[in-house]
Chain A
Amino acid sequence: MNRLGDLERAVMDVLWERIEPMTVRDVGRALSDRDLAHTTVMTVLDRLAKKGVVQRTREGRAWRYRPAASRENYVSELMFDALGQTGDRDAALAAFVRSMSGPEAEALRRALAESDEP
């Protein structure tokens, strides 16, 4: 993964961990082991805000950032993309197999059981 992607991920992890919205300085402090410049953190947060995964609110002179949705929400959204192959999404991703109906599943189990026999 590229460096920027890696940073975005680290910043999101920090934001998801805390409940309170955080300032750029808070985020930088939480990632102190990475020794990031203040402007770097700001750039990353700005990018994330532009992409809509982070929301910001003004508080006094500083912006405070918080995730637009929980990590679980995003995981669900990705699963929804992958499994809910409806409408215009169908060509974007290719799922291994779509879900099947009860009788189909039953027929499949039978086919497998039959193939077990010599």
Chain B
Amino acid sequence: MVSAVLLAMISGSCLLAATHLRRAQWPARGPYVAIIAWQALGLAWGISTIGALLALGLTPYERGVVGGLFALVRDAAAHGLMLPQLADPRLGALRGVAIVAAVGLTLLLFWGLVLSFVQVLRTRSRHRHLLELVGRDDPDVPGARVLDHPAAAAYCLPGVLNPQVVISAGALAMLDRKELAAVLAHEHAHLRQRHDLVLLPFSSLKRAFPRVRFMATCYNSVALLIEMCADDQARRAHSPRELATALVRFGTAGNPTVPAGAMAVVPNPDQPEVLTRVSRLLNPGARLSRTTSTAVLLGSAALMATTLGLWNLPM
């Protein structure tokens, strides 16, 4: 029971910490560190919630989560599926529900991740194939494929074998040479650092809980941090101002030929993300101090260690 309570507290703290992290100012000054914090919170939340449910369900064995699971297997092997120790007339039903919920949550999270990945690969594969058929190479834009479309778009298609940066004719017409170079550097940073893989767990969380708005906000926070990372990479070789003007041009271009339904971006008053990115490029604050970064990283490691440790706590 002790481990159930402690794990439930961790689960709750993770949610609380996530709401704080979402509103905190420091992530913009250290997006990489913040992304690690998000990953730790997400992972710890999943593991502690599942652990708390299991620990609750396996209370009669008095051995915590891991020990309880072993005991459950031994019990089932010895007495068949009747499980006399668990089937206490008063609390048996509650424990059953807790165990079923734990298994359900595990499957939901695990399958969500697998399904998201399969879906992503399928979308990319079709996209890549069509791109081979209708995209063209342009000597002015080395390392990118050009799509002949009047709307402005620049994006990347991640992959192990054949990652691609794509830019539309509309975007080419709108950007000057230096802005274009900055945009391409930004997209190449996404590909090089495999930002898509960083985002995948959050995209699958959002998928697993489609009605929970909080998951979508977490996803948006991480997505914004990833854009900041790519902005920082592009800024190494290009002026931040060029990247900022490029952002503004894209943001204000409007995309007249794309059907209205395509732009189904939910307006989020909490986070005008382009605005955040532009002002960050124009007025870069002090970078996150080494002490703060170390503290956040140590905190993330401690969170993971505690969560895993509690799974093994035999009480």
Contact = CB atoms under 8 A, between A and B. Distances in A.
Nearest to B132: A5
B295 to A, nearest CB: 30
B181 to A, nearest CB: 13
Interface string B276-289: 01110011000000
B81 interface: no
B263 A75 contact: no
A100 interface: yes
Interface of B is mostly: helix
Interface stretch (B4-12, B58-66, B152-160): B152-160
A95 B166 CA distance: 9
Interface residues of A, number: 43
Contacts, number: 165
Interface string B91-132: 000000000000000000000000010011001100101111
Interface in A62-97: 71, 74-86, 88-97
Interface of A is mostly: helix
A51 to B, nearest CB: 6
Nearest to B135: A78
B311 interface: no
Interface in B175-199: 183, 186-187, 190, 195-196, 199
Given A79-B149, A97-B251, A97-B274, A53 B127 contact: no
A45 B305 CA distance: 56
B132 A83 contact: no
B207 A88 contact: yes
A99 B272 contact: no
B201 to A, nearest CB: 10
A93 B259 CA distance: 19
Contacts of A12: 133-134
B134 A75 contact: yes
A19 interface: no
A94 B195 contact: yes
Size category of the B interface is: 35 or more
Contacts of B15: none
A104 B261 contact: no
Given A1-B132, A77-B130, A99 B154 contact: no
Contacts of A80: 258-259, 262
B272 A107 contact: yes
A98 interface: yes
A78 B134 contact: yes
Interface string B220-261: 000100110000000000000100111110111011011101
A9 interface: yes
Contacts of B156: 93-94
Contacts of A105: 248, 251-252
- The 5 nearest A-B residue pairs measured at CB: A84-B262, A96-B154, A92-B123, A91-B203, A95-B155
Interface of A: 1, 5, 8-9, 12, 51, 53, 71, 74-86, 88-101, 104-105, 107-109, 111-112, 115
